[in-house]
Amino acid sequence: MSQFIRKLLTMSLVPIVSVSLNDDMLDDVDKLMKTLGFSGRSELVRAGIRSLISEEKEKEDILGSLHALLLVIHDEESEQEVTSSKHTFDELISTHIHSKIDNDKCLEIFLLNGEADKIKNMTQEFQTNRKMDRVKLIPM
């Protein structure tokens, strides 16, 4: 066996991961790929994952008591979930602004004040809710 073939056989391959996306998300991925100049879907997905990992690492560094903004975009039908989560973390919320931004989309702006761990827990509760379109924590 040639050395070239031996080297090919022993190289570590990048694992392939399958992801299910609905048609709307796939269309958005394709548009983003072209707009941002990515050579393929995998490259775009890897960049998105790197960005998410970077954001999470930044959150890990947040300690102690702090002020933060939490932005949440969701559809109008998920208002009950937002209200439930909001009441769970009432002690952190200094100000809450609700605004309709589209026919069926809402923006929640929370001004938070409290311990970093509790603020992270609130953020995570919104992030893991599939009905939320976008969740962004901005520490101050």
Instruction: List residues bridging with 107 in a β-sheet.
Output: 73, 99
Q: Which of 52, 45, 104 is nearest to 79 (CA)?
A: 104
**Model confidence pLDDT, tens digit, residues 12-47:** 577 888 888 899 889 989 998 898 898 989 889 888
Instruction: List residues bridging with 130 in a β-sheet.
Output: none
Q: E strands, 38-124, where?
A: 65-75, 93-100, 105-115
The domain containing residue 84 runs over which residues?
64-139
Within a domain: 45: yes
Based on the fold, state whether residues 118 and 75 are members of the same structural domain: yes
Within a domain: 77: yes
One-letter amino acid of 50? R
Based on the fold, state whether residues 98 and 46 are members of the same structural domain: no
Looking up residue 109, the CATH number of its domain turns out to be 3.30.70.1150
The predicted pLDDT at position 8 comes to: 58
Within a domain: 92: yes
The predicted pLDDT at position 116 comes to: 93
Based on the fold, state whether residues 49 and 70 are members of the same structural domain: no
**Model confidence pLDDT, tens digit, residues 83-132:** 999 999 999 999 999 999 988 899 999 999 999 999 999 999 999 998 99
pLDDT at 68 over 70: yes
Task: Point out the domain boundary residue: 57, 80, 99.
Answer: 57
Task: Point out the domain boundary residue: 5, 38, 57.
Answer: 57
Work out how many domains the chain is built from and give that number: 2
Within a domain: 6: no
